[in-house]
Chains A and B, each alone.
Chain A
Amino acid sequence: MLLASVEYARPRSVDEALSLLAANPNGRALAGGQTLVNVMKARIAAPELLVDLNAIPGLREIRETDEGLELGPMVTYTQLARSEEVIRTRPILAEVAAQIADVQVRNRGTLGGNLCSNDPTNHLPPVLVAVGATMTVAGAAGTRTVPAEEFFLGVYLTAVGSGELLTGISVPQRQAGDGFASVTIGADGTCIANAAASMNGGVRVALGCVAATPVLIEVPSADEESVRSAVADAELDPPSDIHAPAAYRRQLAGVLAGRAVRQASGAA
């Protein structure tokens, strides 16, 4: 399939990328391209300008700090899955990144691309909500930080507005364990439902694939019954599609929340 005509720029700095995006409201940032190039083929998206972020130094860095991890938005899934810093500090991120699609896609696909596309079937949005990550968003007016639970606004929609870029993801040190569970079509395939959990005194559970954005539920204790009843109280209204009816997704959300919490509490 041919793409519609498009212009291309390869900036060398975030500032340059921001000016390019500001100058063209129909411009789009191009990260790994594992979603955007395909939606351009299907003509679902037809940007006039692609601003390729691949040549900007520093956006692929993974740094360990006293507070936790500082992740660049252009960090690939392969980098996340293999990073010693990630495995040491917040291993759930590495574990989940290794389950995304396949080798080729993991080599190109990026953390920032995954978050900014906010496809409700993506694994990383609920994980970042559960662990309490903070996103740094840069624009013409400067930078601002957005907590993960306020970052995802709708299907394919995030707090990153027109002319802005996600420039960093901060993940705090874990206080105790994290967990993740999903049911996919085939190993590492399209997600039917997923759940991420993080212990922090109580438990933060984020349910994915049951709404337009991850559903955050705070559960006071990690016992299976509390988790199940908290999920039931959330009165989820998931979509039905070719892969699963709503009732099945609702059922899975409780089951997967239970599994994620079991892993997070060290009981799995």
Chain B
Amino acid sequence: MSEPVAQKTISVEVNGTTYEREVEARRLLVHFIRDDLDLTGTHVGCDTGNCGACSVIVGGTLLKSCMMLAIQADGASIETVEGLAVDGELKPLQQAFGDHHALQCGYCTPGMLMSAKALLDENPEPTEGEIRRAIQGNICRCTGYVNIVEAIAAAAEAGS
């Protein structure tokens, strides 16, 4: 029988590192990642599930970490934006965002990158329409999206 708990020590693997922390049942995954693990690359934009700035990949699934409880991620493997660069070297996808001016204020960028990564992992040669649909859950108020779409297309072409 699974007994109700108000808090629990959970174990999660984030970008290859295993963390154990006690969390309250009410803790949102995004707050766990940012405040408990100090991985502040994942952003809180709207906190209502609309903007996508908090997007991370949990167990291979792209999701908005403000709409999942940390306690639900017990035992899961999580990828956040910090996991993209290897030894400080930007991934081609990240470099493409810079090269194509796909960010201005940068607030949406971590979520955009994770959505783009999830797309390219599954579909390495997306059409422009597929790219646009893939970032539908990510709001950017600076760029008008055109440069973001170009950056993702360029990363796909470079075999990101």
Chain A residues within CB distance 8 Å of chain B: 1-12, 16, 19-20, 24, 33-34, 37-38, 41, 49-50, 52, 54, 101-105, 107-108, 187-188
**Would you call B26 and A103 a contact (CB within 8 A)?**
no
Q: Which of B26, B61, B66 contacts A5 (CB 8 A)?
A: B26
Query: How distant is the Cα of A211 from the Cα of B53 in the complex, in angstroms?
Result: 34
**Would you call B47 and A16 a contact (CB within 8 A)?**
no
Complex contacts, B26 vs chain A, CB 8 Å: 2-6
**Would you call A9 and B68 a contact (CB within 8 A)?**
no
**Would you call B69 and A37 a contact (CB within 8 A)?**
yes
Answer whether A187 and B2 are a contact pair too, CB < 8 Å, given A6-B25, A7-B25. no
**Would you call B137 and A49 a contact (CB within 8 A)?**
no
> Quick check: is B1 within 8 A (CB to CB) of the other chain?
yes
Query: How distant is the Cα of A187 from the Cα of B133 in the complex, in angstroms?
Result: 10
Nearest-CB distance from A122 to chain B (Å)?
Answer: 15
Chain B residues within CB distance 8 Å of chain A: 1-6, 8, 24-26, 28, 31, 47-49, 52, 55, 61-64, 66-69, 71-72, 115, 118, 133-134, 136-138
Nearest-CB distance from A232 to chain B (Å)?
Answer: 35
**Would you call A187 and B25 a contact (CB within 8 A)?**
no
**Would you call B25 and A105 a contact (CB within 8 A)?**
no
Complex contacts, B2 vs chain A, CB 8 Å: 9-12, 16, 20
**Would you call B28 and A3 a contact (CB within 8 A)?**
yes
**Would you call B47 and A102 a contact (CB within 8 A)?**
no
In the complex, 16 of the A-B residue pairs with CB atoms within 8 angstroms, ordered by the A residue number, are A2-B26, A5-B6, A5-B26, A7-B6, A9-B4, A10-B2, A20-B2, A34-B49, A37-B28, A37-B67, A41-B48, A54-B72, A102-B52, A103-B133, A107-B62, A187-B136
Complex contacts, A37 vs chain B, CB 8 Å: 28, 49, 66-69
Answer whether A104 and B1 are a contact pair too, CB < 8 Å, given A7-B25, A37-B67. no
Complex contacts, A104 vs chain B, CB 8 Å: 52, 55, 62-64, 115, 137
Complex contacts, A108 vs chain B, CB 8 Å: 61, 63-64, 67-68
Complex contacts, A50 vs chain B, CB 8 Å: 25, 69
Name the prevailing secondary structure of the B interface residues.
mixed
Query: How distant is the Cα of A52 from the Cα of B113 in the complex, in angstroms?
Result: 29
Nearest-CB distance from A188 to chain B (Å)?
Answer: 7
Query: How distant is the Cα of A108 from the Cα of B47 in the complex, in angstroms?
Result: 16
Chain A residue nearest to B65 (CB atoms) is A104
Chain A residue nearest to B118 (CB atoms) is A103
Complex contacts, A34 vs chain B, CB 8 Å: 49, 67
Max chain A CB contacts within 10 Å: which of B47, B62, B67?
B67
Complex contacts, A101 vs chain B, CB 8 Å: 137
Q: Knowing that A50-B69, A54-B72, A107-B61 touch, tell me 15 more A-B residue pairs with CB under 8 angstroms.
A: A8-B5, A8-B6, A8-B8, A8-B25, A12-B2, A34-B49, A37-B68, A102-B52, A102-B137, A103-B62, A103-B133, A104-B62, A105-B49, A107-B63, A108-B67
**Would you call B48 and A38 a contact (CB within 8 A)?**
yes
Query: How distant is the Cα of A52 from the Cα of B75 in the complex, in angstroms?
Result: 15
Nearest-CB distance from A252 to chain B (Å)?
Answer: 23
Nearest-CB distance from B19 to chain A (Å)?
Answer: 19
Query: How distant is the Cα of A172 from the Cα of B55 in the complex, in angstroms?
Result: 37
Ordered nearest first, which 8 A-B pairs have the shortest CB separation? A102-B137, A8-B25, A3-B26, A7-B4, A102-B136, A9-B4, A104-B137, A104-B64
**Would you call A103 and B136 a contact (CB within 8 A)?**
yes
Query: How distant is the Cα of A1 from the Cα of B63 in the complex, in angstroms?
Result: 18
Query: How distant is the Cα of A54 from the Cα of B58 in the complex, in angstroms?
Result: 14
Complex contacts, B61 vs chain A, CB 8 Å: 107-108
**Would you call B24 and A5 a contact (CB within 8 A)?**
yes
Answer whether A16 and B1 are a contact pair too, CB < 8 Å, given A6-B25, A41-B48. yes
